Structures are given as structure tokens and as C-alpha cells.
Structure 1
Amino acid sequence: MTLPTPGATAHDPRPLHARIAADLRDAIMNSDLAPGSNVPSTARLKERFDASNATIQKAVQILKTEGLVVGRAGAAVTVRANRQQTVRPASSLAPAPAGAAYPWLAEIAGRPGTEARSDLIGVAETEVHGDLATALGQENGTLAVLRQQLITMGDEPAELVSSYYPPAIARGTALAEPRKIRGGTPTLLAGLGFPPRTSVDRVSARVPTRAEHAALRLPGDLPVLRTLRTVYSDGHRPVEVTVMVKAGHLYELQYEFTPE
């Protein structure tokens, strides 16, 4: 592992232990510190950053709290084997065959040692504002049907999913009912005469809201990845707008493109 020089963070206003944790976090996320490998020893980190034992311990504790490393008394601190999951957003657009698991959940569940499930938090009509209203093609303060789910991997919350639907499409259908939808919403929308044709994702990194922080049991003040997805049907009509929020230090997004 190659550590940056202390001078590279000379103008960083964060405490030294936070800067050390940030450098180690980057090494873990870019695989400079590979899964299962040892974190540099306290002695090496002390020398590299001109830091005390207590400062190094605080830095490593941050990474333990974030779930990126594990350690026990008398043993080296190691990088977690599943320190970061790759999510392929395109898989969530595919309809599921009758009786089968959603393709994106099946993909996650197919990874060794990983169980995934989706829990429906609630269904209600709510006002939409800002980018949500714009994406739905509605005025600020108008109503949309909201379906909110929490995706869990193993015993850890992974993603908070909030999907909004125009009332003209959702009212009187399973979209507005507090139950899971067999085959997923792509299948249902197609059956309602609004087959998904195009999806547009806008991805940003943001500080989590209080609700997101609580639902995802996030440590500290790390940012989340927020994906705003608009699904269009025929005539470029928006039929679904979804906000997907996941911990930025535990998940990455993979998009695949084919040149035309």
C-alpha cells in the first residue's frame, strides 16, 4: 500500500485522525488494501503520519464503525471481505417471471454469503416538490403515490427506495395498495398499458437526511449515493420516479454502455 505524504493533507481542516481514516478508506475502496489484507500496523502509521497511538487508534476505530475493517484483541486489523458491493442499476428495470424473485434481488442473493430482501415500509399519497415534481411532470405541491421500501443485505440495511407514481396511473391499482407487487412494478406498469421504455438516472453524493441516516443506520457524517431515476413509457411519458439512497462507502454503481 502506498500512503500519501502528510503534506498532501496540509490544508485539510479535519482532525488528524479523520484525515488518516480518509486516506485508509480510499486505499480500501480502490483495492490498494485488498479484502482480507492487513491494515498497516500502528507503528507504521505513527511514523508515516507523525501521529500518536491514540490518534491512530481513533482513525482505525472510525473504519471499524463504518464496517470497512474488522479487528480483535491481539490480532491484526483486516479489511472486510465484503467491504464494498457493486450494484448494477439496470437489473432493477427487468420484469420478473411469475413466482420468481426480482432480478436485482436474485443477483445480490447469488453472491456468496449474501442474503437480500425487500421490506415494504409504506404506501401513501404525498406532495411532491422540486426535482421530484419536475421529473413527474407535475406542479410543486401536487400529489403522487409513494411506495417506500428498505433493501437489506444480510442483517444490514443497504438501500432506501422511494418510488413515486402519477395518481392518474396509480390510483385504484396495486401500486396504491400496501402490499408487494408480484413480478415488480415494471411488470405491473406494462400490464396497465404503460410499458417502461427508457430510464434516466441522475446520481449524486449528498449528506443524508435524518430519515435516511436512521433507516440505513449510517455511521458518522459520510455521504450517501442518491440516484434519481425517471422511467418513461410511450410518448416519453414519466410513469415512475424513484429515489434510491445507499451508503456511499459501502456501495458502488456499475453502468454498462454499448457504442451505437
Structure 2
Amino acid sequence: MAYEVEAPKYVRLAQTIQRRIEDGTYPPGTRVPSENQLVQAFGMSRPTVVRALDLLKRDGWLESRQGYGTIVRGRPEVVEQKDRRGREALERDESQASGRLVEVGRVPVPARVASMLGLPKRAHALMRRFLVEADGGPAELVSSYFPADLAEGTDLGASEVLSGSAREHLEARRKVRFDHVTERVSARLPSSDEAVLLELPDAVPVLSVLVVALDASGQALQVADVVLPGDRQELEDTYRLN
């Protein structure tokens, strides 16, 4: 089964505008072409152009100024500087990480993970579960889920630790490309196996960071559930207000 899906038109247009910002065609502080000019230049509909511009504004590449139009801000510095747990989970080299591989195999997918992967309820997927250790004890438990057909022809199903990240394996073997990540943080009580692996006392909650890695078309390639002991975590973020 081929897993390469062409990105929607508005995403491709947004990527083109991003490249023009980065190569200096649209320098920071200048106005981008009007909606009419973009419609004519790219042969796309106005709704497609509007959606692409909205995406770039949301991500911090552009901003609207009343009476002046849409202005180029440039590559969002805050986004580039963020240290995200999702990136760590996707790019971790198991062979170099402190910890151990706990489980590998096809498992029933939790309902919320199945929804993210676009799989039906009670479907099975390949799971790799890695226990990260720090200061001599368990620090986080990462359960990564992959559509079974996408994992075929890779080393993801091997019971040995990977040399290189899961992302590298998928991009090299299946010719897919990771484009963006969505993270959802929630608090819950741990399952019995999570409590044992993380050495949690009774009634201690965990933080679950659900990391959804997608290609440019919005197709999920990997979902990682990063489980952190709630009594040992403090989340902090810094972001621009203007």
C-alpha cells in the first residue's frame, strides 16, 4: 500500500510562500502579494489562497496590519527555539538513549490513538515501548504506535533497540516525510503496567503527552504517548504575545 499522499492545495501554496520568505523573495517587513495577485499567479481559488494565508498567520510567518495588508514576519524564532518533548520522542536514538526497550509488537490500538491514526476501533498497530531512565530511575514511558502497513519493510518491528530514530527509519525506508507535530497534554491515573514501570506510589497521577506526527497532507505517520510521573514534572513555556 502506498502511503504517499499529495498535500492539499492550500498547504502546498503555504509551503511555496514559506520558501519565498526564506529565500528573500518576500523579505520581512514587506507586504505579500494581495489575494487577487496570488489567485492569478498560482491559478488557485480565493478560498484556497485565504486558507493558505491563514495557516501562515497562525504559525507566525505573516501578520495582518489594519490599513496596510498582510506583512511578512519571517521564520518564527520562538517556534525554532522551543524544546519539545514530541521532537525528543520522534528523534530519540534508542541505541544511545539511557533506558531500555520494554515491548515491541502488534497490539490493539487505544481508541484515541486509533482516531489519530485514522484506524477503525479495535484495529491493531505496531507498538514500540521504551522506558527512559534518568538519575538511576524511570523518568518517562514512551509508547509509539505505527500503522502496520507503514511499518512493513522497516526495522520498527525488531525486538532490538534501533540505531537511529523511528522518524529516520520511516523517512528512509518508506519515502515519507514528517512535516509537523501536534501535542496534547492531559492528566490521568496510570494503568497498572505504567505504574509498575514508572515505580509510582498508589494514587499518583501521570501527565500524558500525546504526540501526533503528520506529513504535509495531514496523514498521521506516528503517534507517541509520552507518560510522565505527575509528581516529578513541572511544565514551562515561553511565547511571544505580539
Contact 2:127 2:146 (C-alpha < 8 Å) held by counterparts: yes
Instruction: Please state if 1:203 is matched with 2:185.
Output: yes
Distance of 1:216 and 1:253 partners within structure 2: 19
Question: Residues 217 and 140 from structure 1, CA distance in 2 versus in 1: closer, same or farther, beyond 3 angstroms?
Answer: same
What is the root-mean-square deviation of aligned Cα atoms in Å?
A: 2.5
The ranges of structure 1 where at least 4 consecutive aligned residues each deviate by more than 3 angstroms after the TM superposition are 93-97, 253-260
Shift of 1:100: 8.9
Counting aligned pairs with the same residue, the percent is 28
Shift of 1:212: 1.0
Relative to the length of structure 1, the TM-score reads 0.55
Shift of 1:93: 5.8
- The equivalent residue for 2:104 is 123
Q: Among residues 232, 250, 255, which one is paired with 2:214 in the alignment?
A: 232
Relative to the length of structure 2, the TM-score reads 0.59
The residue type paired with residue 193 of structure 1 is: K
Question: Residues 143 and 187 from structure 1, CA distance in 2 versus in 1: closer, same or farther, beyond 3 angstroms?
Answer: same
Distance of 2:163 and 2:177 partners within structure 1: 16
Query: What secondary structure sits across from 1:175 in the alignment?
Result: coil
Question: Residues 167 and 127 from structure 1, CA distance in 2 versus in 1: closer, same or farther, beyond 3 angstroms?
Answer: same
Distance of 2:92 and 2:121 partners within structure 1: 34
Contact 2:188 2:208 (C-alpha < 8 Å) held by counterparts: yes
Contact 2:86 2:183 (C-alpha < 8 Å) held by counterparts: no
Q: Among residues 132, 150, 153, which one is paired with 1:151 in the alignment?
A: 132
Contact 1:88 1:253 (C-alpha < 8 Å) held by counterparts: no
Shift of 1:155: 1.4
Shift of 1:246: 1.0
Q: How many residues align?
A: 159
- The equivalent residue for 1:179 is 160
- The equivalent residue for 1:54 is none
- Consecutive unaligned residues of structure 1, counting only runs of 5 or more, are 1-86, 106-116
Contact 1:165 1:241 (C-alpha < 8 Å) held by counterparts: yes
